[in-house]
């Protein structure tokens, strides 16, 4: 990470690691990030930041750095943890909250944005306004939309916005900049089969929703395989089956739940149509009623061209840049910010992913060694955005 010494001294790097580990040990579940937000506010005030808004879209925090000029830019970090029980028993900073952990690195994202705030506060070379957006509820809680609904872009104007995510499997500190799509659009679905209950030993008296659900699970695997262009990205995964009360009863209702992801709007339309068609067809085949519902979901996280190049140039001033990394089918509600203002979203390598170090794994831990590169990148891209025409 070539920019370590030019962007951050060892004392600040050690302080950020300490803050990150505190956040890891004290995670706030989605929609329950109050303590994390309070920690963020306290550290910003210690730095001398005076313009801080709390409670934006829930537990969101927006801190404003002003230094003349009429240009503005936003930098975003997410703060929430996941409902996962950590099994890093030997880790000194393992989660102290049962069943909750930072398994996606949002503790590192938050610490890195605090580091960027410090770097910008200490750097007299820039002018303009930087909005530091600490977002709650990224993990399916609608945090981005809640902040937008609470007037994020009206109350805290910004011409551009930039964000990032740590990425296991990418060399530590390396920044991946995608041409357009970074992460997929996605939504959650529920398919309900309503039949007629009966004694399990008298199946001819039933209309069995369990058999219909079983056939549907298998048939849904054809949605992507036989409805999308093989070169288009798409995923349909059934992840929850709910139904049945007794082992000797055929139930009245069975519900399937899952997620769908895609990288292009046309693929999303084909996936939705395929799920509906299969559910209705199987319902008719087995004489049960079928209904499909969808969550609001998220859009494709897609970089804007000018901001993509700005991000690549800023990253190149700090560390190694990759332009050849394919997008992922994971989702990111930073996409909603990119629908409102131009911006870019990058990945910063977290190092090897083997041995339980992948995202959403109960053994995951953010790599503190990448904090200088992450904070340095955020500060550099903000300065370049403020200088841009």
CATH classification at residue 212: 3.30.70.360
Q: Are residues 195 and 177 in the same domain?
A: no
What tokens appear for 386 in the block?
């403020």
Domain count, the chain: 2
Q: Are residues 56 and 146 in the same domain?
A: yes
Q: Are residues 141 and 193 in the same domain?
A: no
Neighbours of 267 (CB within 10 A): 23
Rounded CA separation 303/2 (Å)? 25
Q: Are residues 29 and 85 in the same domain?
A: yes
- Please give, one letter per residue, the 3-state secondary structure of the chain: CCCHHHHCCHHHHHHHHHHHHHHHHCCCECCCCHHHHHHHHHHHHHHCCCEEEEEECCCEEEEEEEECCCCEEEEEEECCEECCCCCCCCCCCCCCCCCCECCCCHHHHHHHHHHHHHHHHCCCCCCEEEEEEEECCCCCCCHHHHHHHCCHHHHCCCCCEEEEEEEECCCCCCEECCCCEEECEEEEEEEEEECECEECCCHHHCECHHHHHHHHHHHHCHHHHHHCCCCCCEEEEEEEEEECCCCCEECCEEEEEEEEEECCHHHHHHHHHHHHHHHHHHHHHHCCEEEEEECCCECCEECCHHHHHHHHHHHHHHCCEECCCCCECCCCCHHHHHHHCCEEEEEEEEECCCCCCCCCCCCCCCCHHHHHHHHHHHHHHHHHHHHCC
Q: Are residues 41 and 116 in the same domain?
A: yes
Q: Are residues 206 and 160 in the same domain?
A: no
Q: Are residues 145 and 244 in the same domain?
A: no
Which of 294, 318, 344 terminates a domain? The answer is 294
Q: Are residues 213 and 154 in the same domain?
A: no
Do the beta carbons of residue 319 and residue 1 sit within 8 Å? yes
Q: Are residues 173 and 189 in the same domain?
A: no
CATH classification at residue 357: 3.40.630.10
What tokens appear for 160 in the block?
């551009």
Do the beta carbons of residue 135 and residue 77 sit within 8 Å? yes
Do the beta carbons of residue 375 and residue 162 sit within 8 Å? no
What tokens appear for 204 in the block?
């001819």
Q: Are residues 161 and 177 in the same domain?
A: yes
Report which secondary-structure segment, H or E, holds 349. Answer: strand 343-351
CB-count exposure of residue 271 (10 Å: 0-12, 13-18, 19+): buried
Neighbours of 175 (CB within 10 A): 29
Q: The domain containing residue 24 runs over which residues?
A: 4-181+300-387
Beta strands 60-67 and 289-294 are unpaired
Which of 294, 310, 330 terminates a domain? The answer is 294
Per residue of the chain (389 residues), what is the pLDDT tens digit? 454 445 689 999 999 999 999 999 999 999 999 999 999 999 999 999 999 999 999 999 999 999 988 999 999 999 999 999 999 889 999 999 999 999 999 999 999 999 999 999 999 999 999 999 999 999 989 999 999 999 999 999 999 999 999 999 999 999 999 999 999 999 999 999 999 999 999 999 999 999 999 999 999 999 999 999 988 889 999 999 999 999 999 999 999 999 999 999 899 999 999 999 999 999 999 999 999 999 988 999 999 999 999 999 999 999 999 999 999 999 999 999 999 999 999 999 999 998 889 999 999 999 999 999 999 999 999 999 999 97
List Cα–Cα distances, 358 to 84, 349, 350, 354, in angstroms. Answer: 14, 12, 9, 7
Which of 266, 294, 322 terminates a domain? The answer is 294
**Strand, coil or helix: what is 11?**
helix
Q: Are residues 232 and 345 in the same domain?
A: no
Q: Are residues 29 and 128 in the same domain?
A: yes
């Amino acid at each position: 990470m070539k920019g370590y010494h030019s962007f951050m001294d060892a004392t600040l790097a050690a302080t950020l690691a300490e803050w990150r580990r505190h956040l890891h040990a004290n995670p706030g579940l989605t929609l329950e990030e109050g303590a994390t937000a309070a920690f963020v506010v306290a550290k910003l005030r210690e730095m001398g930041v005076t313009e801080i808004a709390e409670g934006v879209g829930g537990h969101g925090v927006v801190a404003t750095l002003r230094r003349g000029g009429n240009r503005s830019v936003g930098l975003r970090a997410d703060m929430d943890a996941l409902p996962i029980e950590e099994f890093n028993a030997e880790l000194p900073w393992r989660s102290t909250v049962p069943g909750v952990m930072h398994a996606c690195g949002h503790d590192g994202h938050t610490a890195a944005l605090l580091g960027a705030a410090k770097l910008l506060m200490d750097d007299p070379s820039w002018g303009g306004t930087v909005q530091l957006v600490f977002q709650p509820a990224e993990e399916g809680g609608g945090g981005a939309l809640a902040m937008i609904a609470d007037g994020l872009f009206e109350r805290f104007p910004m011409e551009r916005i930039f964000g990032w995510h740590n990425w296991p499997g990418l060399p530590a500190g390396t920044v991946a900049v995608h041409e357009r799509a970074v992460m997929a659009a996605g939504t959650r679905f529920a398919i309900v089969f309503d039949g007629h209950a009966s004694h399990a030993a008298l199946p001819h008296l039933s209309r069995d929703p369990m058999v219909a659900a079983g056939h549907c699970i298998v048939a849904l695997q054809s949605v992507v395989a036989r409805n999308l262009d093989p070169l288009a990205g798409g995923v349909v995964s059934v992840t929850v089956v709910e139904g049945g009360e007794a082992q000797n009863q055929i139930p009245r209702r069975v519900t399937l739940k899952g997620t769908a992801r895609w990288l292009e709007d046309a693929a999303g339309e084909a996936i939705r149509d395929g799920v509906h068609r299969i559910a209705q067809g199987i319902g008719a085949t087995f004489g049960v009623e079928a209904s499909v519902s969808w969550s609001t979901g998220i859009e494709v996280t897609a970089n804007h061209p000018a901001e993509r190049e700005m991000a690549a140039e800023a990253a190149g001033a700090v560390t190694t840049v990759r332009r050849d990394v394919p997008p992922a089918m994971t989702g990111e509600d930073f996409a909603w910010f990119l629908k409102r203002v131009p911006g870019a979203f990058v990945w910063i390598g977290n190092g090897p992913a083997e041995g339980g170090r992948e995202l959403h794994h109960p053994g995951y831990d953010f790599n503190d060694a990448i904090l200088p590169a992450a904070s340095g990148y955020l500060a550099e891209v903000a300065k370049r955005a403020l200088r841009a025409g």
